[in-house]
Every structure is written in C-alpha cells, then in structure tokens.
Amino acid sequence: MDLDITNSSLNTYKALASDVRIKIIQELSHKRMSVQELSEKLNLSSTITLMHLNKLAEGEIIGFERHGHSKVSYLKVDNINIHFPTPIYPAFAVYETQVPVGQYTNYSVVPSCGLAGKSDYIGKVDNPSYFMSPERIGAGMIWWNDGFVEYQFPNYLEENDHLEMIDLSAELGSEFPFSNNVWPSDITVYINNVEIGTWTSPGDFSDIRGKFTPDWVPDNVNQYGILKTFRVTDHGSYLDGQPFTEVSIKDIDWSTPTFTVRFQIKEDANHHGGCTIFGQGFGNYDQDIKMKLFHS
C-alpha cells in the first residue's frame, strides 16, 4: 500500500492508531480468522471486535469474506510505504519535463511484457514487437521481465546556466505474471549512460486498486507502484532523500542536447523480478516520468 501526507490517507493512519487493532493485524498475519475467534483471542466482545475490524477495513488494511454463517477477516496488505512531500529548493531555478511512459526511444525487453492504454492493452501482451507500435505513445503503463527501456529528456540548460542538481522521479514496481506483492526486483537507473544506482522493488502490487488505474484493468494485475525520486547533487546521489551512491553531477555530461534515462534489469542482477512503470492515468500518482534540472 502506498500512502502520502494528504487527507486521502487519513483512514489508514486512524486504523493503525490503536493497540487493539495492531494486535488484530498481528493475529491475521498468521491466518484468516472469524469475528468470534478474534474476540476470544483478544478477550473482547464480538461487538467491540467488529468495530475495530470495520476501522481496519475503512483503512483498506483488511477485507472480509463469508464462510458459511461466519464473517472472516484477512489481511489485504503486507507492506505500507509513506511518501512525505518533496523538499523545495527555492535558491535554484528549475526546468521541469514530464515524458510519457510510452515515449521511450530505445528498448530491449523480454516477456512477460506489454503496454496498457486508457481503454485496453496496446497490441499483444508478451510480444516485444508491439513495443515499437506507433500507439505506444498512448501507453500509461508498461512492463517487462528482463532488459531495458530508454527515454530522452530535453536539455533546456542555457550557456550561462550551471547545473546544481537533477531529480528523476517515476512510479515503479516489479513485474510478475498477473501480480505478486512479494516479488523483489533490482531496477537500475542510468542518466546519460552513467549508472546512478539500483533500487530493489519489493513487489508487483495488486492488494488494492491503484487510485488512477482505469476500471478496465483487472483487479489481479499490476495496480500501482512506489514513487521513487533519484537525486544527483554535487556531493553524491540520494534515493527518496536518503544517501544512495557516490555518483555526482560532475560524473554526468550535461552539455548534451538531451538527457538519456534508462531503466534496466541487468543481466547480473540478484533479483530478476522485472519492471513496471506507471504513468499518468495509472497507479497512485497521476504523473509521467518527471525530470527536474535545478540550476543557478
């Protein structure tokens, strides 16, 4: 589950703000349980137990199903990611560009792979030939198992501009046929052929529907990813504000007319779990792949 610091996530935060509900989550992590079983385990009345379960359901942490006359609860999520607002750097001017996920300029992918548009799949799923379809520009979600996709971002820096920092953000996840919430994958990011670093995606998520994912997408396939921000500064790189690698601005040639960005599953990756990129109209963040060039 992906959360942010907005009112839309309040129900989940409220659901977690109870020691009783934390105990319920711990119990449900072992097995599915009826209201009666939980009330006996917690030494609470069925009415109070059901009240706590409803709070967890409102927060989309658990779900219910019927087993005969019993109402059985089960966990819907196995991890929660919280995204805080990105810090703003007012001292620097910025050029910002968003490139649609289907507007890649180079690729080499291995199935399972495919592209999804607003109303249907684009071409045939698991056929890399369709990655060159002219209709790919309309894709809001793409996925592949091994290989890479590459994008070109315009370089709007002028002669007297000095590049201070690069931010690259995208909503990313793993790729598993249909989905698998626990499916690690090593996704490596490059800018202008310089390896910025590798992030291990924890899974290919379908525990809940993506906030913006179109209704036509089945519930049991990729629904959303995790918004990741790769930052390159003059003293190293950061991932979501935390130290990442030693790659710095001086390692990147920013005199080129474009910035080339590559997302790759390397041949020697420890976890070959594929990659899914979510763009505008899909996932939990209504954005495409975004690059910011901070300059002075």
Q: Using one digit for the tens of pLDDT, what is the confidence trace for 183-203?
A: 999 999 999 999 999 999 999
**CB within 8 Å of 216: residues ≥ 6 apart:** 119, 120
The whole-number pLDDT of residue 89 equals 52
Residue 19: Cβ within 10 Å count:
7
142-161 pLDDT per residue, tens: 999 999 999 999 999 999 99
Query: Tens digits of per-residue pLDDT, 40-60?
Result: 999 999 999 899 999 999 998
Provide the pLDDT confidence category of residue 90 given band limits of 50, 70 and 90: low
User: What would the two tokens of residue 236 be?
Assistant: 């190293």
Residue position matching structure tokens 């684009």: 122
3-class secondary structure, 250? helix
Which pLDDT score, from 0 to 100, does residue 87 have?
Answer: 59
Cβ neighbours of residue 98 closer than 8 Å, sequence gap 6 or more: 280, 287, 288, 289, 290, 291
72 vs 60: CA distance, rounded Å: 15
Shortest CA distance to 111 belongs to which of 261, 278, 274? 274
Binning pLDDT at 50, 70 and 90, where does residue 29 land? confident
Q: What is the pTM assigned to this prediction?
A: 0.78
Q: Looking at residue 217, what is its pLDDT?
A: 96
Q: What is the DSSP letter of 204?
A: B
- Supply the pLDDT for residue 146: 96
The model's pLDDT over 263-290, given as tens digits with 9 standing for 90+, comes to 999 999 999 999 999 999 999 999 999 9
Q: For residue 135, what are its two tokens?
A: 């209709």
208-247 per-position pLDDT tens digit: 999 999 999 999 999 999 999 999 999 999 999 899 999 9
